[in-house]
Chain A
Amino acid sequence: MKTFKTGGIHPPENKFTENIPIEEMPIPAELAISLNQHLGKPAKPLVKVGSEVKKGELIGAADGFISANVHASTSGKVKAVKPHPHPSGQYAMTVFITADGKDEWAERLNTDPMDWHGLSKEEIIGKIQNAGIVGMGGAGFPTSVKLSPPPDKQIDTIILNGAECEPFLTADHRLMLESAREIVEGLEIIASLFSGQAKAYIGIESNKKDAIGTLSQIASSKGIEVVSLKTKYPQGAEKQLINAITGRTIEQGELPFDKGCLVQNIGTAVAIYDAVSKNKPLIERIVTVSGLEIGKPKNIRAVIGTSFKDISRFCGDPKGNTNQIISGGPMMGKALFTLDVPVVKTTSGILFVNNTGIEKARERTCIRCGKCVDVCPQGLAPWLLANVAQLREFDEIQLLGLANCTECGSCTYVCPSRRELVHWIKYAKALVNNRQKRKSA
């Protein structure tokens, strides 16, 4: 069983929904489709209030190189285009669509699966770009950009990330069980972009034995290796996954392609398959709805723009003592201040929890136990980064490897003094970024 070299933790897995099949969530009467569902510039709205849209129609166009298209998730009428809360905790320009109930596809979309083998690289990348596909693991980096590394970088390893190391989340797990064929075909499409020279892997944590079995059966005949990974957080972080599978280390300032690697999420692979072989834009995703405080934990397939409110109703409403609702996993997710936010392309889970005690714990002084140093997968000294961040010594903190922090939160998880280590590091990153922006402006 493979694993990454340094650090890591093993929080309680709490995968309550791993045996619950994916359920189709009916399309609600109103959708709020955010134009900022990816890393980079938000998409430019192409529709106005009152426009009629069809399912899969382009409603937001990529604005620049690092940006992504946004499509209507159902047919209907545009009710409003205005800022609206976003699962990231901020507001984003959002297109509101009142569904007409017909759910009519726009022309030439969602066709019968076609043979993609004849397509050129440019055609495949073009299809992926048009479909608005972004990394569905959480970061939301535009996939077409990631799949076009600079020509001097030789990609020899393609990794599909099925680690799903976050507690609670089972969206990728269910997808691997229920859409194994599509995943493998999506991976073959990615591999074809690199002329078949690259070795393809699917990395899965060992707590998903059934998924390892299912995928191995299909993948082995196609030269794809399914790798069983130790159940350890953050096994699914890009740098850690590359280290676990290939033994290579991504140094500061490097990107995976500098070490010949390309990592894609399981959900992204399915989206790529849908886009290339069926002309289907990215308008839906799998979301795990879980936590101890939700009536009926489920894995659902929801269209982009479905409100968390509708989802919570669909899953049996939160219980009375819910005090936190988290978008994403419990390690790297965001606590929401309202349920009135839509599902975006990167929403992997919605957790309803009662975190009394954790959310109001007092930060105490560091007792220098060194646990954060032991668990940091990037080999940093989080206690020191946090101290320096609190002192606002932003030149010093960059020397300590601020940019290398992947914000996985392992340090905060183990800290016996309940210090908000990763929070202070994020704070320093934000301020360092601001300062650099001001300097360059």
Chain B
Amino acid sequence: MSITARNANQLKGSVLFLMESVNLKVSNAPFVRSKDSIESVMYNVALALAPATAMSVYLFGMKALVLTVVSILSCIAFEWLMDKARKKPNSCFDGSALVTGLLLALNVPSNLPLWMVVTGAFIAIVASKHAFGGLGYNVFNPALVARVFLLISFPAAMTSWPVPFSVDMQTAASPLGILKTDGLDAALASFSIMDGFYGTMNGSLGETSFLALLAGAAWLWYKKYITMYIPLSLIGSVFLFTGLFYLIDPTTYASPTFHMVTGGLILGAFFMATDMVTSPLSVRGQLLFGLGCGLLTAVIRLWGGYPEGISFAILIMNSFVPLIDRWDLNDRKALQTKKPETP
């Protein structure tokens, strides 16, 4: 009866209409909604990352699993704390903290001390997500901010990668690291391209297996949670840019295939650059965003001080997203306010 009474009262001088048996709710059209929700988006991203996570446990052992669990749990804990502190509805289980935790774990070496992982989770959730207003308002990808923070704060721990299947946690540089410090021949000698394809090489948890990552990305694409504009323009521009220099001087520059399978390119292109919150909305904006990420990645890889550039590239391009969206917005305004042509 409640709704009936409230609405009837607003109306002038009329009888109260009471329903005999039905208590009617008034809400806004449309009265059917798709089944998509923030949860379904986030849990599908987590599901898509499962093959890569499983692969990392297979390669690096229980240590990788522990690290992943700690990362996820600390992200969820910080999410809960921040919701409490900001007096917001509980968002621990909307899946976004889970995805951030998972991505953070996949972005670090498996022998990273756990307290560093927790620090990373703090940076991701508190400093780069809730400080901006929580899910939907963050400018930068939280997991990437945390990764870059850890890389700059703890460079040694963040660049000593365990060798796959090693019992005594033997560490070595990643192929990209070797390329930077010892040159192309040493890098090529350290692994085969097929290692990169299957993931049996040194690296962070999630950046090793090309195959597992592609399987997850294909799932997301099939379920329409990501489009291919950003990944294709990102990977394509890395391929073309590094390919150009490989053609100029194959003795100094690695082949584009080498760049495809090493480092975090695939993880970054399909799972980090495509983050809905921190990427442009329009197709051409996404293509431009991917192109920018790709060129910056290639430039940092070829001539930068760091062996890997994808995280820096995505973060830099993140900061351009409002500008890219403004480009689209201005055209939109021009289109919508266009006067009809008079024949």
Contact = CB atoms under 8 A, between A and B. Distances in A.
Interface of A: 9, 11-12, 83-85, 89-91, 167, 251-254, 258, 318, 320, 322-326, 330-340, 351, 353, 355, 358-362, 364-371, 373, 379-381, 384, 399-401, 404, 409, 412-418, 420, 422-423
Contact of B332 (A85, A353, A400, A420): A400
B29 interface: yes
B142 to A, nearest CB: 13
Nearest to B285: A370
B17 A324 contact: no
B282 A253 contact: no
B70 to A, nearest CB: 26
Main secondary structure of the interface of B (DSSP, over half): loop
A9 B33 CA distance: 11
A399 B337 contact: yes
5 nearest interchain CB pairs? A401-B336, A365-B136, A409-B30, A359-B27, A338-B17
B32 A330 contact: yes
A339 B25 contact: no
B156 interface: no
A338 B4 contact: yes
Which of A380, A401, A416 has its CB near the most chain B CB atoms (within 10 A)? A416
A370 B25 contact: no
A418 B33 contact: yes
Interface string B18-49: 01011111111111111011101100000000
B178 interface: no
Contacts of B38: 364, 367, 416-417
A324 B31 contact: yes
Given A332-B29, A338-B4, A353-B31, A318 B22 contact: yes
A333 B335 contact: no
14 contacts: A85-B11, A91-B12, A251-B340, A258-B340, A324-B26, A335-B25, A339-B22, A339-B24, A340-B17, A355-B31, A359-B25, A365-B137, A368-B136, A368-B277
A252 B332 CA distance: 13
A131 to B, nearest CB: 30
A334 to B, nearest CB: 7
B87 interface: no
A11 B29 CA distance: 14
Contacts of B333: 399-401
Nearest to B336: A401
B21 to A, nearest CB: 7
B110 to A, nearest CB: 30
Contacts of B33: 358, 361, 412-413, 415, 418
Nearest to A333: B29
Given A254-B340, A355-B27, A368-B136, A413 B281 contact: no
Contacts of B335: 379, 401
A371 to B, nearest CB: 8
Contacts of B17: 85, 337-338, 340
Which of A331, A337, A380, A399 has its CB near the most chain B CB atoms (within 10 A)? A337
A377 to B, nearest CB: 14
Given A358-B33, A416-B36, A323 B24 contact: yes
A204 B230 CA distance: 38
B12 A333 contact: no
A83 B13 CA distance: 9
Given A335-B27, A337-B24, 6 more contacts: A9-B34, A322-B22, A323-B22, A323-B24, A335-B25, A368-B136
Contact of A381 (B13, B31, B281): B281
A370 B336 CA distance: 18
A82 to B, nearest CB: 8
A370 B30 contact: no
A420 B11 CA distance: 25
Contacts of B29: 330-335, 409, 412, 422-423
B89 interface: yes
Contact of A335 (B26, B281, B336, B339): B26
Nearest to A317: B21
A326 B136 contact: no
A380 B26 CA distance: 27
B134 interface: yes
Which of B31, B329, B340 has its CB near the most chain A CB atoms (within 10 A)? B31
Contacts of A371: 36
A340 B27 CA distance: 18
B277 to A, nearest CB: 5
A369 B223 CA distance: 13
A91 B22 contact: no
Given A85-B17, A355-B27, A359-B25, A253 B137 contact: no
Contacts of A362: 89
A367 B336 contact: no
A167 B41 contact: no
A364 B94 CA distance: 11
A323 B25 CA distance: 6
A139 B335 CA distance: 26
A335 B276 contact: no
A169 B276 CA distance: 35
Given A332-B30, A384-B329, A413-B30, A253 B340 contact: yes
A416 B30 contact: no
A373 B282 contact: yes
Given A400-B332, A414-B34, A338 B41 contact: no
Given A11-B32, A338-B17, A423-B28, A399 B7 contact: no
A404 B336 contact: yes
Nearest to A84: B14
B97 to A, nearest CB: 14
B27 A324 contact: yes
B247 interface: no
Contact of A367 (B26, B27, B276, B337): B276
Given A324-B24, A337-B26, A12 B32 contact: yes
B8 interface: yes
Nearest to B89: A362
Interface string B309-343: 00000000000000000000100110111111000
Given A83-B14, A252-B336, A413-B33, A320 B21 contact: yes
A326 B31 contact: yes
Interface in B272-292: 276-277, 279, 281-282
B333 to A, nearest CB: 5
B73 interface: no
